[in-house]
Structure 1
Amino acid sequence: MRIPTVYRPYRGRLHLRMPYRKDNRSWLKDRLGDRIRPEWVHATESHPGRWEIARNHLQPLVEALVERWGAVDVTLIYSTTEQCDTRCQNARGDDCTCSCLGLNHGHGFAGQWTQVGDTTLVQHEYTKVTRRITG
């Protein structure tokens, strides 16, 4: 038997894949409430079919999947936005009190850094964490 998977992108609805059963839609409504509006997204060449569910149902969904299937693989995408300062990145010498803790000190702010103020720089990155939850 396959293990269901839940994927929470940085933005947007949860993606749920679980083994087929005729009652999957009614089971989701029973477990997450009558007002839930699970949407079935049909498979394409590059993606298998999946359910899409509102993000606020993550915790009860995971608990229900573990109860029904014994385990679920959960993948969460987090923003790990870094912040630095042009004064740090353009600095000379080794004295740095910036939030990057000296990592970018004196390197200039080329590449993926975006200036968002007089001196503040941000760099957007995302981290993916996957865990298997079991009962």
Structure 2
Amino acid sequence: MPFEGGSNRRWLLEELGERIRPEWNNTVKPGRWEIARPHLRMLTEALAGRFGEVDVYLEFSTTERCHTKCQTAGGDDCTCSCRGEHHGGGTYWTQWQLVGEDILIGPVGRVERHYVVRREDIGR
């Protein structure tokens, strides 16, 4: 959703409440809105409702370790170092190796995940 002279910022505040602090990041191309994680689901649903579908990009930082409990995690909030790849039973990333019974090791860095959410997907 573009900046559009502040009208989209007003819409964000109307949808999410006056206490949020959406930031327009124009250091990346194309520019993008950045919000705190707790608002992600509500914003994604509002955008899909408004535009029909929305591209969601999530960035994950990694450390060298992950835990298999991530594979059985529930909900949307994932702060695990596997970058969300294992969250809630996601597919196994071949660069991660199981060490012992429950520790996964892998590379260090940042990765971005891309999802498309459509209006008809809301509430499933």
- Tell me which structure has the larger Cα radius of gyration: 1
Task: Classify 1:64/1:42 alpha carbon distance in 2 versus 1 (closer, same or farther; 3 Å).
Answer: same
Under a length normalisation based on structure 2, what TM-score does the superposition of the two structures give? 0.53
Describe the SS at the equivalent of 1:61: helix
In structure 1, which of residues 26, 32, 41 is the aligned counterpart of residue 10 of structure 2? Answer: 26
Q: Is the counterpart of residue 71 in structure 1 residue 53 in structure 2?
A: yes
In 2, distance between residues paired with 1:40 and 1:34? 16
**Residues 80-116 of structure 1: CA distance to partner in whole angstroms, max 9, x if unpaired?**
27552xxxxxxxxxxxxx337xxxxxxxxxxxxxxxx
Unaligned 5+ runs, structure 2: 61-80, 83-95, 120-124
* C-alpha RMSD over aligned residues: 3.0
Comparing 48-57 with 75-84, greater Cα deviation is found at 75-84
In structure 1, which of residues 123, 126, 130 is the aligned counterpart of residue 106 of structure 2? Answer: 123
In structure 1, which of residues 38, 62, 66 is the aligned counterpart of residue 22 of structure 2? Answer: 38
How many residues get paired? 84
Question: Which residue does 2:63 correspond to in 1?
Answer: none
Unaligned 5+ runs, structure 1: 1-17, 85-97, 101-119
Conserved? CA contact 2:3–2:24, under 8 Å: no
1:1-135 aligned at under 5 Å gives the runs 18-22=1-5, 23-43=7-27, 47-77=29-59, 79-80=81-82, 84=99, 98-99=100-101, 122-124=105-107, 128-135=112-119
Answer 1 or 2: which has greater helix percent. 2
Describe the SS at the equivalent of 1:131: strand
Task: Classify 1:127/1:82 alpha carbon distance in 2 versus 1 (closer, same or farther; 3 Å).
Answer: farther
In 1, distance between residues paired with 2:21 and 2:8? 13
